Amino acid sequence: MDEVLKLFPITTRRDPKGRMTIAGQSLRELVQQYGSPLYLYDGATLRSQLALLRKAFEAEYRGGFEITYAAKAYFSLEMAKRMASMGLGVDVVSLGELKIAGKAGFSPKRVHFHGNNKTVPELLFAMEWGISDIVVDNLSELVLLEFLASEKKKIINIWLRITPGVKVETHQYWQTGDIASKFGLPINDGQASEGIRFAQSSRWLKLRGLHTHVGSQVFDTQPYAEALRRLIGLAEQEEFILAELSPGGGLGVQYLLDDKMADAVDWVQTMSAALEHECGKRGWPLPKLLLEPGRWLVGQAGVAVYSVGAVKFSSDGMYIVAVDGGMADNPRPAMYQAHYVAALADRLPSGVLKRASLVGKYCESGDQLIPELKLPEVYRGELIAMPVAGAYQLSMSSNYNMASRPAVLWLEEGRAEVMQRRENPDERGWWVNDSAQD
């Protein structure tokens, strides 16, 4: 049994010769048709993650819930259309994401606009479109929004993003609920209370709920319960009866075989129990809960497929295997020392395994997809597949070294649909001055 397949999409198989398929389609044939590197999203895996979460909420929480996809994990027009058709809402953080959500057919009533520094054009667009809700991050944004709303003479639905002072165990860059965070209105120094009072006394802003997001790639569910308790305590202190409440997203996924696996059911049970208790003792109705999973929904559904190029030994004996992608399509290892596994897509490994390093093709020594792993001898043109590539890879990708972003396919029921075509340096792009000759 090829243990590593557990990390791949649920439809991943190997044929008797060890050739990998996803949703019944050969990775080799897909690369022959669409080129390399290639990103794949397996529809069945995404749908199964969503179903698990929905089922848990239906069974556990009586206050009503909505699942709102965190677009930042990976967004494109085609992905957005699929998310909208699955009945999801969407959490966006920029004008680009707002516009894609609109084009994809999301109802404005299912859109939440986050971010710690929304620009005036972004706010005006969101107001004009009539989204519910703008999630106000700070007092300066609150004042700005009130001014814009009064100018437009328009009532705007808002939530406030609260920093509860809850620290989670995760990479420092993904902690967002601690008092030192750049996000939200801290409870401990009174800014959160001031925000609620300001919003409640505003003629133009309609405060409908509170939001927090304690971090990303989180496995322990207790900090969520604690954050919700603090939000309810804050609401009570300000005599604000919450209609809606959001604990954000952040549920972790497994990147390595010995990583922990987040338990979505435990997540839901822990939050439901905390809210039943807190609201019950105050005689409050349960608020509607809005969950914002990103990584949990799309992480495992995604796979990155690379072709091997140059191979060599470093003078200290490391077998260096270079692939045709790297930090431009997946900056996570370079940014956060994120760990991954890789598998040969055309065969099972055989022969002597060498101490190897899987590196990218870009001009940084830090461009190492997996700094150390075991690999057999590999050849130019062999395919290497990296699982759990669905979140925060392409959405954080760049054109470093003028790299073209890879093509992205949606695989479902034996079909491959192009969600994003490969960028092409021969097409006029952002790097040209339109008024100048090529």
Ligand X SMILES: Cc1ncc(COP(=O)(O)O)c(C=O)c1O
Q: What is the DSSP letter of 391?
A: S
Q: What is the DSSP letter of 415?
A: E
Binding residue for ligand X, selected from 40, 56, 73, 235, defined by CB under 6 A: 73
Residues 391-410 that bind ligand X (CB under 6 A): 391
Binding residue for ligand X, selected from 14, 19, 295, 405, defined by CB under 6 A: 295
Question: Residue number with the shortest CB distance to ligand X?
Answer: 294
C-beta of 208 vs 295, nearer to ligand X = 295
Binding residue for ligand X, selected from 208, 213, 361, 405, defined by CB under 6 A: 213
The window from 184-192, 290-298, 346-354, 380-388 that contacts ligand X (CB under 6 A) reads 290-298
Give the residue from 22, 16, 78 showing the smallest Cα distance to 45: 22
Binding residue for ligand X, selected from 293, 302, 325, 390, defined by CB under 6 A: 293
Whether the Cβ atoms of residue 105 and residue 82 lie closer than 8 Å to each other = no
The window from 4-12, 150-158, 245-253, 313-321 that contacts ligand X (CB under 6 A) reads 245-253
Task: Provide, rounded to whole angstroms, the least separation between the CB of residue 392 and ligand X.
Answer: 7
- Residue 292 in the binding site for ligand X (CB under 6 A): yes
- Residue 115 in the binding site for ligand X (CB under 6 A): no
Residues 51-70 that bind ligand X (CB under 6 A): 70
- Residue 224 in the binding site for ligand X (CB under 6 A): no
What track of x and - describes contact with ligand X for positions 352 through 391 (by CB under 6 A)?
Answer: ---------------------------------------x
Amino acid identity, position 36: S
105: region left, alpha or beta (phi > 0 left; psi from -120 to 50 alpha): left
- Residue 249 in the binding site for ligand X (CB under 6 A): yes
DSSP per residue over 323-363, as a string?
A: ES--TTT--HHHHH------EESSS---S--EEEEEE-SSS
Task: Provide, rounded to whole angstroms, the least separation between the CB of residue 263 and ligand X.
Answer: 15
Residues 306-345 that bind ligand X (CB under 6 A): none
Binding residue for ligand X, selected from 209, 294, 331, 406, defined by CB under 6 A: 294
Element (H, E) at 31: helix 27-34
Q: How far is CA 379 from CA 173, 309, 311, 376, in A?
A: 37, 8, 8, 10
Active site residues: 363
C-beta of 250 vs 406, nearer to ligand X = 250
134-136 vs 156-163, strand pairing mode = parallel
Q: SS3 for 219-241, per residue?
A: CCCHHHHHHHHHHHHHHHHCCCC
Task: Provide, rounded to whole angstroms, the least separation between the CB of residue 237 and ligand X.
Answer: 23
Residues 252-281 that bind ligand X (CB under 6 A): none
C-beta of 251 vs 383, nearer to ligand X = 251
Q: How far apart, in whole angstroms, are the C-alpha atoms of residue 334 and residue 365?
A: 9
- Residue 412 in the binding site for ligand X (CB under 6 A): no
285-288: which pairs have CB atoms within 8 A and are 24 or more residues apart? 285/63, 286/61, 286/62, 286/63, 286/64, 287/63, 287/209, 287/242, 287/243, 287/244, 287/245, 288/63, 288/64, 288/65, 288/66, 288/209, 288/243, 288/244, 288/245
- Residue 110 in the binding site for ligand X (CB under 6 A): no
Task: Provide, rounded to whole angstroms, the least separation between the CB of residue 250 and ligand X.
Answer: 4
- Residue 216 in the binding site for ligand X (CB under 6 A): yes
Number of residues that bind ligand X (CB under 6 A): 17
3-class DSSP state of 89: strand
Q: What is the DSSP letter of 214?
A: -
Binding residue for ligand X, selected from 42, 78, 91, 137, defined by CB under 6 A: 91
Binding residue for ligand X, selected from 204, 296, 306, 319, defined by CB under 6 A: 296
Residue 323's Cβ-count burial label (10 Å; 0-12, 13-18, 19+) is buried
Task: Provide, rounded to whole angstroms, the least separation between the CB of residue 377 and ligand X.
Answer: 37
- Residue 248 in the binding site for ligand X (CB under 6 A): yes
Give the residue from 51, 59, 42 showing the smallest Cα distance to 298: 42
Q: How many residues does the chain have?
A: 438
- Residue 302 in the binding site for ligand X (CB under 6 A): no
What residues line the site for ligand X (CB under 6 A)? 70, 72-73, 91, 114, 213, 216, 248-251, 292-296, 391
